């Protein structure tokens, strides 16, 4: 199996659960509860952001080592500009659909606000990423992070990765203290629209950057040959999985309690202050790091472990991420992500125009939506599957996550 196959499988896995999480039905639906986020403070967006940083580090560090810093920087910025075109393109498509579809303006109001073509201030806010419609804000986040990526990849190559990590931790801490409000509050007042929304985002960029840039550092170190994974992730080195498992088991009951609203009222306030998803608070950071370490160790070292039950667990995880359908989606995650936004908006519109659907119908729509995710991937690999010449060489794309976005602006 090629090095990126498992990563593509992970991206495809996140895409599948992403579309399931983002489908909104009146009264909700059961299938959305069958999700890893019911057992841990770990969600699809975190995996996407981390894998995005990891691949940026792996791919572009190699380019810089081979062709120089300028070539790597140009490649990263070209990629960022491509993502910007897609980010703006999906907004334009939805706004046009809002004009043409009866009742769409009312149905999508919670996701778009008073956003239309006759409001230049709102359009400018969208173009500059200050206002991000629901389920469209992963691409802007990713683009902003990529603007700083060339310099940070170069620092890693120059053995200054510890400066990158230290800086990332400080910026993350600034997010926990709400220091970004020094800039966001006046900007929010400046671009406030008639719907009383100024800055609208689901992610605090200061907080979530630690996921992306930690992945970038690990990816760049890997491509530069500055880290020996065989020594760290070995069957004999069981400290990592044991420590990670302890953390996972610590957060498991807390997640079950909060998921079912069973936490005593006198504990909610303190816990909630550490579990702010938009800021990627300490609860999310520690739980994600633990799960990521545990899964990575099982994938790399688990198959060689002496215990049969460990090998079986590792084989099961490897099998999931080796599913060809998931890898197909993962190879074209940018296009699949953009397409997923269209699917989610259409399903929400259909649900808003229909009487409340029963559980069976909702489940059927969800499964069909998962199947429809493959359309852009199949189109880009049409020569392979259908013998139809493709117009361009197919290349593996970087992941584009999305979260379970709140329906209002987040300013912390």
* Predicted local confidence at residue 389, as pLDDT: 62
> What mean pLDDT is reported for the chain?
89
Q: What is the widest separation between alpha-carbon atoms in the chain?
A: 66
Q: Where are the alpha helices (DSSP H) in 23-119?
A: 44-67, 69-100, 104-107, 109-112
For residue 312, give Cα distances in angstroms to 22, 198, 318: 32, 51, 10
What φ, ψ does residue 131 adopt, rounded to 5°? Answer: -115, 120
Dump pLDDT digits (tens) for 221-231. 999 988 888 88
Q: How many CB atoms lie under 10 A from the CB of residue 119? A: 16
Q: Which distant-in-sequence residues (6+ apart) come within 8 Å of 342 by Cβ? A: 90, 93, 94
pTM: 0.88
Quick check: 147 pLDDT over 90?
Answer: yes
By the 8 A CB rule, do 411 and 184 touch? yes
Strand partners, 200: 131
* Predicted local confidence at residue 391, as pLDDT: 52
Strand partners, 131: 200
Dump pLDDT digits (tens) for 297-313. 999 999 999 999 999 99
Dump pLDDT digits (tens) for 98-142. 999 999 999 999 999 999 899 999 999 999 999 999 998 888 898
Share of the chain above pLDDT 90, in %: 73
Quick check: 37 pLDDT over 90?
Answer: no
Quick check: 373 pLDDT over 90?
Answer: yes
Quick check: 188 pLDDT over 90?
Answer: yes
| Joined tokens for residue 342 | 């269209």
Quick check: 398 pLDDT over 70?
Answer: no
At residue 16 the predicted structure's pLDDT band, cuts being 50, 70 and 90, is very high
At residue 266 the predicted structure's pLDDT band, cuts being 50, 70 and 90, is confident
Share of the chain above pLDDT 70, in %: 93
Dump pLDDT digits (tens) for 309-338. 999 999 999 999 999 999 999 999 888 998
Position with higher pLDDT, 387 vs 86: 86
| Joined tokens for residue 101 | 């579809």
């Amino acid at each position: 199996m090629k090095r990126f196959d498992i990563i593509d499988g992970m991206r495809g896995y996140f895409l599948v659960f992403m579309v399931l999480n983002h489908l909104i039905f009146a009264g909700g639906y059961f299938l959305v509860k069958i999700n890893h986020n019911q057992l841990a403070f770990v969600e699809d967006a975190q995996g996407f952001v981390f894998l995005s940083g990891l691949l940026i580090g792996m791919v572009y560090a190699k380019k810089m080592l081979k062709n120089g810093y300028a070539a790597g920087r140009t490649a990263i910025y070209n990629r960022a500009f491509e993502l910007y075109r897609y980010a703006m393109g999906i907004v334009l498509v939805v706004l046009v659909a809002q004009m043409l579809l009866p009742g769409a303006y009312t149905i999508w109001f919670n996701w778009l606000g008073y956003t239309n073509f006759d409001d230049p201030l709102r359009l400018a806010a969208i173009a500059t990423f200050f206002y991000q419609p629901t389920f469209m804000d992963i691409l802007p986040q990713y683009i902003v992070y990529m603007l700083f990526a060339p310099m940070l990849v170069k620092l890693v190559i120059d053995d200054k990765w510890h400066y990158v990590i230290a800086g990332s931790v400080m910026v993350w801490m600034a997010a926990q203290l709400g220091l970004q409000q020094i800039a966001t509050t006046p900007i929010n007042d400046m671009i406030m629209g008639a719907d009383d929304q100024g800055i609208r985002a689901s992610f605090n960029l200061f907080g979530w950057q630690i996921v992306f840039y930690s992945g970038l550092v690990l990816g760049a170190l890997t491509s530069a040959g500055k880290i020996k994974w065989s020594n760290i992730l070995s069957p004999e080195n069981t400290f990592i999985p044991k420590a990670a498992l302890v953390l996972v088991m610590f957060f498991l009951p807390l997640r079950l309690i909060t998921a079912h609203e069973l936490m005593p009222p006198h504990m909610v306030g303190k816990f909630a202050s550490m579990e702010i998803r938009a800021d990627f608070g300490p609860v999310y950071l520690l739980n994600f790091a633990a799960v990521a370490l545990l899964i990575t160790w099982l994938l790399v070292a688990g198959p060689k472990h002496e215990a049969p039950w460990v090998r079986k667990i590792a084989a099961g995880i490897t099998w999931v991420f080796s599913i060809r359908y998931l890898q197909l989606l993962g190879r074209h995650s940018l296009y699949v992500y953009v397409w997923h936004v269209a699917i989610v908006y259409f399903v929400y519109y259909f649900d808003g125009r229909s009487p409340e659907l029963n559980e069976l119908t909702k489940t059927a729509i969800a499964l069909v939506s998962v199947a429809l995710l493959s359309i852009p991937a199949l189109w880009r690999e049409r020569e392979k599957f259908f013998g139809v010449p493709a117009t361009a060489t197919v290349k593996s794309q970087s992941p584009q996550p999305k979260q379970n976005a709140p329906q209002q602006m987040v300013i912390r």
